[in-house]
Amino acid sequence: MKFTKFLAAAVMTGVMASPVFAATELTVYTAVEAEDLKKYAERFNEDHPDININWVRDSTGIVTAKLLAEKENPQADVIWGLAATSLLLMKSEDMLEPYAPAGLDELDPKFRDKSDPPTWTGMDAWVAAICVNTVESEANNLPMPSSWQDLTDPVYAGHIAMPNPSSSGTGFLDVSSWLQIFGEDDGWAFMDGLHQNIHHYTHSGSKPCKQAASGEVAIGVSFAFRGAKSKASGAPLEIIIPSEGIGWDMEATAIVKGTDNMEAAKTLVDWSITDKANQMYNEGYAVIGKQALAMPVEHFPSNIPESMIDNDFEWAANNRKRILAEWQKRYDSKSEPKG
Amino acid sequence: MKTPIKAKTSRDDRQMLVFMGVIACYLFVALALPLYAILSKSFKNDDGEFVGLANYLEYFNTPSLTYSIQNSLTISIITTLISVTIAFTLAYGLSRSCMRFKGLFKIIALVPILVPSLLPGIALIYLFGRQGMIRGLLFGHDIYGPIGIVISEVFFTLPHALIIIMTALSIADARLYEAAQSLNAGKIKTFFTVTLPGARYGLISAGFVVFTLTITDFGAPKVIGGDFNVLATDIYKQVIGQQNFEMGAVVSLILLLPAGVAFTVDRIMQRKQVALLSARAVAYEPKPSTSFDWIMFCWATIVSIFILTILGTCQYAALIKFYPYDLTLSLNNYQFDLMDGGGWESFYNSLELACWTAVIGTVLVFLGAYMVEKGKGFHLGRNLFQFLAMLPMAVPGLVLGLAYIFFFNSPNNPLNFLYHTMAILVISTVTHFYTVAHLTAVTALKQMDPEFESVAASLKTPFYRTFTRITAPVCLPAILDISIYLFVNAMTTVSAVVFLYGPHTSLASVAVLNMDDAGDIAPAAAMGMMIFYTNASVRILHGLLSRGVLRKTQSWRSR
C-alpha cells in the first residue's frame, strides 16, 4: 500500500512540477480549523512555491501538550496558529526562537510578544461570547441576557453550560477575564452566582456554543467564532457580546528553537504577518493583527474590537495555578460523589 | 486429576526460552521503559528535580481530585457486573442452546467492537439528551453523568467480555455432561457443578478486562460524563488542560493499581485452573429444548435491539442536516475533505495501521502466549512476562502516548528514528491492545491438555512442529479472533495515537475525536460510521475467508 502510494505520489509530482524545485519541507504544528489548512498552505505557496508545509493539526490542548512533551527533541519547525497563552508557556520554557519578522511595525502592538525581538506574533483574536438559543429561550421564557451579570439571575438556573477551566483554555480565558473585569473578590462572587445556574461544565471550549446550537442547553458560554459558524449553518443562535467587556486570546506564530530550516521558517513567519495573510485570517475572524484591513464578517457582532478588555496575558499565566486551585475548590463540588 | 508428565528435551526448552526472551524484550522496550519515562515524573517537579512524594501529598490534599477515585471505582464495578452478566448469559445461550439465528446474534453482539468508543456517547445524547428522541424513558434523570457513562461502557465492553467467555464456554467436554446426566443431576445442578466451574477462569478474566477497560477509558466520560469526574478524565485535565505532566503521572500511577490486583488474582486463579480439553475429550453439542431455547432467543433479541438502536441512532444523526431544528436528510456531514486529517488520506493511513497491527500483533501475541503457557522452567521469567502482558490493559492510552513521546523522542534514544512514523503507531497499538489478545490466546491454550506436548516430546518431535501441526491449528479460531480484534481496534483507537501521528500519518479515528471535541457531533458520527462500515466489511471478508479454513481444521470438534 505504502509503495503504490509512493509511486503515485512520485508520478504526480513528476507530472505537475516540470521545473523541479528542491522544495524545503517544513513541519508546522497548528490548532487552526482543519478546513482552513489547505487554504492557508495554498495562499502561502502562491508566494513561496519552494516551501512545502507539512501540517500536524490537533486541538489547542493536545498540540500544546505535544510540543511541551517533545521539548528535549523538538519535531516542529514552526508553530502557526496556536493560542498566545500556549506560546507564552513555551517561551518560559525557552523553546522559541526570538525573531522580528519583516513588517513587524505595522502590526497592532497588542498582537506581539513584548520581548524584543518578539518570540511570537499574533494573527487574529478569538473572543469570548454568549451563545443563546432563541428557540429554547422562548420555550423556557428566558429573557435575552446582555451582560455577564445577567447570567447570575436565578431564572437561568440549569440552562447554562460553560467550559471547565481545568480542561479548556477557553474556560480559563473566561475565568481570568472575569477576575480582571470585576476584580478578584467581585469576580469570585460573580462566579458563585453563575455556578448556581450552570447545568454542566464541558471539557472543550467550543462545545457549550455547539450545545446551545443544538438545544442541549439554552445558553453556552463559549467564543464568537464558533457561534458565527453554527449560525451560518442554520442554528437558531444569537451571539451576545456582554456589556462589561470580553476576554480574548489570539492565534499566533513562532519559530521553534533549534529548527534545521531556519531560512524557510523565517520566510513563513514573515509571510504570516503580511497584508495578504491578514486578509486571509479576516475571512473567518473579525479581529486581526492589522485591524485597519479588517472587513466585517458575517454573523459576527460589530462591536467586538471595542469590547475586548486589555487582557493581561502575563498576569493570567503567572496566576494560573492559583486561580485553577481556587476554582476547583469552589466549583468542582458539582462532581462530588453522591450518596 | 492427572499430573502433567515432564518429558521435555532440554534443547526445546532452550529454544523456547530464546523465543520468549525476544518477545519479552519487545514488551520491555515498548512498554516498561516508556512507562518508566513518564511515571518517574510523578516523583519530580516541573524542573525535573526529585521531590519524593510531594506530588502525591498535593494530590491527596485536593478533594476534587480524590473524589474521582471513588467515582471511578463505582462506575467500573457497576459496569463490570452488568457487562459480565450480559456477556455470560448471552455466551451461554450461544454455545449451549439450540436457539435460531445464533450466527446473527453473535455478529450483532460483537458489533460494538467495530465502532469508535465515542459513538455510544454520541448516540445517547441523541436518544436521551435534552432534545433526545426518547428522553422520557429516563424519568427525569440526567443522561450526562454516571448513567450515561455506565450505558456507554456496557456497550463498549460487552464484546470484549463476550469473546473471552465464549472462548471459555466453547470448548466443553461432552463426557462431563454425559456423566452429570447419568448421575441424574438436574439442569441447574449441572450448570453450577459443570458449566460454571469450567467457565470460571474466563469469567474472572472477563471481569478484570471489563473493569480495567472501564476505569481507563476517557472517551465515554468525556462525551457523556458531564461533571462526573473520573480518574481518566482527570488525566486529560492535568495533561491536556493544564500541561501538568507530573500530576498526570500521579493519577496514572493510581490508575495502574487495578492492574496489580488483576495480576495477583489472575495468578491465584490460574494455579487452580485445569485443562478442560484433554486429549480424549469429546466436544459438547447442545440438544434442543423448546422453553430454554425460547428464553435465550428473547434475551439475545433484547441485547441485539440495544446494540442496533445505538448504532442506528448514530447513522440517523449522521444523515440529519441540523438536529433537532432541521430534520431533512443530507450528506453534508460526509464532506471528509473538509475534515481533520485531510479526508481520505487519514482513512487510508488508518487502514494501513490496522493491517500491520493485525499481522505483526497476532504473531507476537500468540507466540508469546505459547511460550508462557507451554514452556517449562524459568518461572521467574515467565511470571515477569505474564505481568508485562497484563500491564497494557491498565495503562490509559493517553499515558501510553505521552510515554512514547518522552521515551522514543528522546535525543539519547537510538530508536528515535521511529518517531512520527507508521512504525511507532503500529508498536503503540499492538502494545496498547496486547492484554486482551494475550488473554484470548492463553485461555485457548489452557484448554489444551499438556499431554499433546508430552506425547509429542516423547516422540522426539521438536516443539515448533507440535506448534505448527497441532497447537496453532487447534487454536485457529482464537488466532483469527485475535487478528480481527487487533485490526478493528487499530481502526478505532484514539487515545495513544493522538500524540504520535506525524505529518504523513494522520488517522481517521483521531478525526472523530477532534470533531466531537469541537462540538461537531454529527460529522463525528458520520466519520465514526465510516469506520464502522469498513470494520464490518473487513469482518465479513474475514469471516468468509476463515470459514473455509475452519471447516478444514475444526471438523474434529464434532463427532
Residue of A nearest to B237 (CA): A167
Confidence at B336, pLDDT banded by 50, 70, 90: low
Question: Has residue B361 got a pLDDT over 90?
Answer: yes
Does A243 lie in the same domain as A170? Answer: yes
Chain B residues with CB under 8 Å of A37 CB are: 342
Region B469-489: mean pLDDT is: 85
Chain A residues with CB under 8 Å of B514 CB are: 34, 58-59
Which of A214, A230, A326, A330 is the best mutation test for B, with the most CBs of B within 10 A?
A214
- Alpha-carbon distance values, B159 to B86, B196, B304, B481 (Å): 10, 20, 12, 12
Does A240 lie in the same domain as A138? Answer: yes
Segments forming the whole domain that contains residue A118: 22-125+248-301
Map out the domains of chain B as residue ranges. Answer: 10-557
Count of domains observed in chain A = 2
CATH number of A330's domain: 3.40.190.10
Q: What is the DSSP letter of A141?
A: T
**pLDDT given at position A50:** 94
Among B494, B524, B371, B344, smallest CA distance to B428 is for B494
The most confident of A90-99, B93-102, B432-441, B534-543, by mean pLDDT: A90-99
**pLDDT given at position A265:** 97
Q: How far is A12 from chain B (nearest CA, A)?
A: 15
Percent of all residues in chain B with a pLDDT value above 70, rounded to a whole number:
91
Taking only the tens place, the pLDDT of each residue in B15-69 is 778 888 888 899 999 999 999 998 898 999 888 888 889 999 988 888 878 888 8
CB B385 within 8 A of CB B368: yes
Q: Is A164's CB within 8 Å of B406's CB?
A: no
Residue of A nearest to B37 (CA): A69
Q: How far is B137 from chain A (nearest CA, A)?
A: 17
Question: Has residue A15 got a pLDDT over 60?
Answer: no
Taking only the tens place, the pLDDT of each residue in B483-528 is 988 999 999 988 888 888 888 888 888 888 888 877 778 888 888 8
Question: Which of B339, B410, B519 comes nearest A72 by C-beta?
Answer: B410
**CA-CA distance, A269 to A48, in Å (whole number)?**
12
Q: How far is B263 from chain A (nearest CA, A)?
A: 28
Interface of B with A in 414-433 (CB under 8 A): 416, 419-420, 422
The 3-state DSSP class for residue B384 equals helix
**CA-CA distance, B214 to B74, in Å (whole number)?**
11
**CA-CA distance, B360 to B354, in Å (whole number)?**
10
Q: How far is A292 from chain B (nearest CA, A)?
A: 30
Q: How far is A260 from chain B (nearest CA, A)?
A: 15
Chain A residues with CB under 8 Å of B503 CB are: 27, 54-56
CB atoms within 10 A of CB A135: 14
User: Grid coordinates in use for A263?
Assistant: 531560512
Asked whether the bond before B396 is cis by omega within 30 degrees of 0, the reply is no
Q: Is A332's CB within 8 Å of B64's CB?
A: yes
Q: How far is B317 from chain A (nearest CA, A)?
A: 12
Region A194-208: mean pLDDT is: 90
- Alpha-carbon distance values, A319 to A67, A93, A152, A175 (Å): 22, 17, 25, 12
**CA-CA distance, B545 to B484, in Å (whole number)?**
12
**CA-CA distance, A298 to A107, in Å (whole number)?**
24
Interface of B with A in 124-153 (CB under 8 A): 125, 129-131, 144
Question: Has residue B384 got a pLDDT over 80?
Answer: yes
Residue of B nearest to A201 (CA): B227
Record the pTM.
0.84
Chain A residues with CB under 8 Å of B131 CB are: 214-216
Chain A residues with CB under 8 Å of B357 CB are: none
Q: Is A69's CB within 8 Å of B411's CB?
A: no
**pLDDT given at position A338:** 37
Question: Has residue A209 got a pLDDT over 80?
Answer: yes
Q: Is A65's CB within 8 Å of B243's CB?
A: yes
Does A149 lie in the same domain as A41? Answer: no
Report yes or no: B499 at the A interface, CB cutoff 8 Å.
yes
Region B115-131: mean pLDDT is: 89
Question: Has residue B7 got a pLDDT over 70?
Answer: no
Question: Which of A37, A75, A210 comes nearest B520 by C-beta?
Answer: A210
b/e string for A275-305 if b means 16 or more Cβ within 10 A? Answer: eebbebbbebbbbbbbbeebeebebbbeebe
Q: How far is A102 from chain B (nearest CA, A)?
A: 28
Confidence at B132, pLDDT banded by 50, 70, 90: confident
Q: Which CATH superfamily is domain B10-557 in?
A: MetI-like (1.10.3720.10)
Element (H, E) at B396: none
**pLDDT given at position B316:** 92
Confidence at A20, pLDDT banded by 50, 70, 90: very low
Does A331 lie in the same domain as A215? Answer: yes
The least confident of A11-20, A51-60, B182-191, B514-523 is: A11-20
Does A48 lie in the same domain as A182? Answer: no
Question: Has residue A72 got a pLDDT over 80?
Answer: yes
Interface of B with A in 191-220 (CB under 8 A): none
Does A201 lie in the same domain as A319? Answer: yes
Q: What is the DSSP letter of A102?
A: T
Region B447-474: mean pLDDT is: 79
Interface of B with A in 232-261 (CB under 8 A): 233, 236-237, 239-243, 245
Q: Is A203's CB within 8 Å of B420's CB?
A: no
Backbone φ, ψ for residue A73 (5° rounding)? -150, 75
Element (H, E) at A126: strand A120-133
**pLDDT given at position A234:** 85
Taking only the tens place, the pLDDT of each residue in A264-277 is 999 999 999 999 99
Question: Has residue B341 got a pLDDT over 70?
Answer: no
Question: Which of A215, A325, A336 comes nearest B131 by C-beta?
Answer: A215
Q: Is A206's CB within 8 Å of B323's CB?
A: no
Taking only the tens place, the pLDDT of each residue in B141-198 is 888 889 999 999 999 999 989 988 887 887 677 787 888 888 888 888 888 888 888 7
Question: Which of A34, A70, A200 comes nearest B227 by C-beta?
Answer: A200
Residue of A nearest to B355 (CA): A1
Confidence at A54, pLDDT banded by 50, 70, 90: very high
Percent of all residues in chain B with a pLDDT value above 90, rounded to a whole number:
25
- Rounded to the nearest 5 degrees, what angle is found at the Cα of A108, between the Cα atoms of A102 and A114? 80
Question: Which of B227, B352, B409 comes nearest A70 by C-beta?
Answer: B409
Region A48-68: mean pLDDT is: 90
Supply the mean pLDDT for chain A. 88
Report yes or no: B328 at the A interface, CB cutoff 8 Å.
no
**pLDDT given at position B526:** 87
**pLDDT given at position A335:** 45
**pLDDT given at position B405:** 87
Among B210, B204, B249, B230, smallest CA distance to B40 is for B249
**pLDDT given at position B212:** 84
**pLDDT given at position A1:** 43
Question: Has residue A3 got a pLDDT over 60?
Answer: no
Q: Is A217's CB within 8 Å of B130's CB?
A: yes
Determine the angle formed by the axes of helices B146-170 and B196-216, rounding to 10 degrees: 150
Question: Which of A209, A234, A335 comes nearest B64 by C-beta?
Answer: A335
Q: Is B243's CB within 8 Å of A89's CB?
A: yes
Q: What DSSP line would sit under B417-455, residue for residue?
A: GGTTSHHHHHHHHHHHTHHHHHHHHHHHHHTB-THHHHH
Dihedral Cα B179, B183, B186, B190, nearest 10 deg: -40
Supply the mean pLDDT for chain B. 84
Q: Is A335's CB within 8 Å of B229's CB?
A: yes
User: Grid coordinates in use for B237?
Assistant: 485535565
Report yes or no: B61 at the A interface, CB cutoff 8 Å.
no
**pLDDT given at position B435:** 86
Residue of B nearest to A217 (CA): B130
Q: Is A214's CB within 8 Å of B323's CB?
A: yes
Dihedral Cα B539, B544, B549, B555, nearest 10 deg: 110
Confidence at B281, pLDDT banded by 50, 70, 90: low
Element (H, E) at A136: helix A134-139
Q: Is B64's CB within 8 Å of A56's CB?
A: no
Residue A3 lies in a domain: no
Question: Has residue A326 got a pLDDT over 50?
Answer: yes
Q: How far is B51 from chain A (nearest CA, A)?
A: 18
Question: Has residue A325 got a pLDDT over 70?
Answer: yes
Among A169, A192, A183, smallest CA distance to A85 is for A169
**pLDDT given at position A7:** 45
**pLDDT given at position A22:** 62
Q: Please list, in sequence order, all residues whose beta carbon lies within 8 angstroms of the beta carbon of residue B503, skipping any fewer than 6 positions away.
A: A27, A54, A55, A56, B420
Region B425-451: mean pLDDT is: 86
Q: Is A69's CB within 8 Å of B324's CB?
A: no
Does A327 lie in the same domain as A271? Answer: no
Question: Which of B228, B242, B519 comes nearest A206 by C-beta?
Answer: B519
Question: Has residue A14 got a pLDDT over 70?
Answer: no
Question: Which of A1, A66, A214 comes nearest B499 by C-beta?
Answer: A66
CB B491 within 8 A of CB B535: yes
Question: Has residue B420 got a pLDDT over 80?
Answer: yes
Beta bridge partners of A24: A51
Chain A residues with CB under 8 Å of B144 CB are: 200
Question: Has residue B9 got a pLDDT over 70?
Answer: no
**pLDDT given at position B410:** 86
First to last CA, chain A: 55
Question: Has residue A223 got a pLDDT over 60?
Answer: yes
Q: Please list, in sequence order, all residues whose beta carbon lies within 8 angstroms of the beta carbon of residue B312, skipping any fewer than 6 positions away.
A: none
Q: What DSSP line would sit under B102-156, residue for residue?
A: HHHHHHHHTGGGGS-THHHHHHHHHHHSTT-TTGGGGTT--STTHHHHHHHHHHH
Does A199 lie in the same domain as A137? Answer: yes
Asked whether the bond before B523 is cis by omega within 30 degrees of 0, the reply is no
Q: Is A65's CB within 8 Å of B499's CB?
A: yes
Taking only the tens place, the pLDDT of each residue in B193-235 is 888 887 888 888 888 889 888 988 888 898 888 888 899 888 8
Question: Has residue B101 got a pLDDT over 70?
Answer: yes
**CA-CA distance, B419 to B411, in Å (whole number)?**
11
CB B104 within 8 A of CB B147: no
First to last CA, chain B: 25
**CA-CA distance, A249 to B387, in Å (whole number)?**
47
Question: Has residue B276 got a pLDDT over 60?
Answer: no
Region B302-315: mean pLDDT is: 94
b/e string for B366-391 if b means 16 or more Cβ within 10 A? Answer: bbbbbbbbbbbebeebbeebbbbbbb
Does A288 lie in the same domain as A219? Answer: no
